[in-house]
Homo-oligomer: A and B are copies of this chain.
Amino acid sequence: MTRSNWSVPETEVVQSIRERLDERAAGADGPPDVLATVVGVEGNAYRRPGAKMVLSADGEGIGAITAGCLEEDLVSVADRIRETGRPEVVTYDLMDDEEEDVWGLGVGCNGVIDVLVEPLTETYRPAVEAFGAGRDVAVLTVLDGGDGALADGDRAYYRPDDGTLRTPEGDPATDWPDSLSDPAGALADRGRGDTLVVDDRAGGTVEVFVDGIAAPTELVVFGTGHDVGPVTELAARNDFRVTVVGFRGAVDLDDRFPEADRTVTTSPANVDEALAPDERTHAVVMTHNFVDDRLVVESLLDAGVAYVGLMGPRERFEEMLEEFAAEGRTFDESELEPLYTPVGLDLGGGSPYQIAHSIVAEVLAVANDRRPGHLKAREGPIHERVDVGDGDDEGDGESDGTADDEGNNGTADGADEPDARAR
Residues of A within 8 A of B (CB): 4, 6-10, 44, 46-48, 51, 64, 67-69, 71, 102-109, 225-227, 229-230, 234, 237-239, 286-291, 311-316, 319, 339-362, 364-365, 367-376, 378, 382-383, 406-413
A46 to B228, alpha carbons, bound, how many Å? 13
Contact A410 B286 (CB under 8 A): yes
CB contacts (< 8 Å) of A225 on chain B: these are 67-68, 108
CB distance from A97 to the nearest CB of B (A): 15
CB contacts (< 8 Å) of A357 on chain B: these are 234, 237-238, 357, 360-361, 364
A251 to B48, alpha carbons, bound, how many Å? 29
By beta carbon, the residue of chain B nearest A348 is B368
CB distance from A50 to the nearest CB of B (A): 9
With known contacts A346-B373, A370-B346, A313–B237 Cβ distance under 8 A: no
30 A-B residue pairs with Cβ-Cβ distance under 8 Å, sorted by A, are A4-B226, A6-B226, A7-B353, A44-B312, A46-B227, A51-B350, A67-B286, A104-B289, A105-B319, A106-B290, A107-B311, A109-B288, A237-B357, A238-B353, A286-B410, A313-B410, A313-B412, A315-B413, A340-B374, A342-B382, A342-B409, A343-B409, A343-B410, A344-B374, A344-B375, A345-B345, A346-B382, A355-B408, A357-B361, A372-B373
Contact B288 A358 (CB under 8 A): no
Contact A408 B67 (CB under 8 A): no
CB distance from A202 to the nearest CB of B (A): 37
Contact A291 B103 (CB under 8 A): yes
CB distance from A357 to the nearest CB of B (A): 6
A-B pairs with lowest CB-CB distance, top 6:
A348-B368, A6-B226, A311-B410, A7-B352, A105-B290, A67-B225
A372 to B355, alpha carbons, bound, how many Å? 13
Contact B9 A353 (CB under 8 A): yes
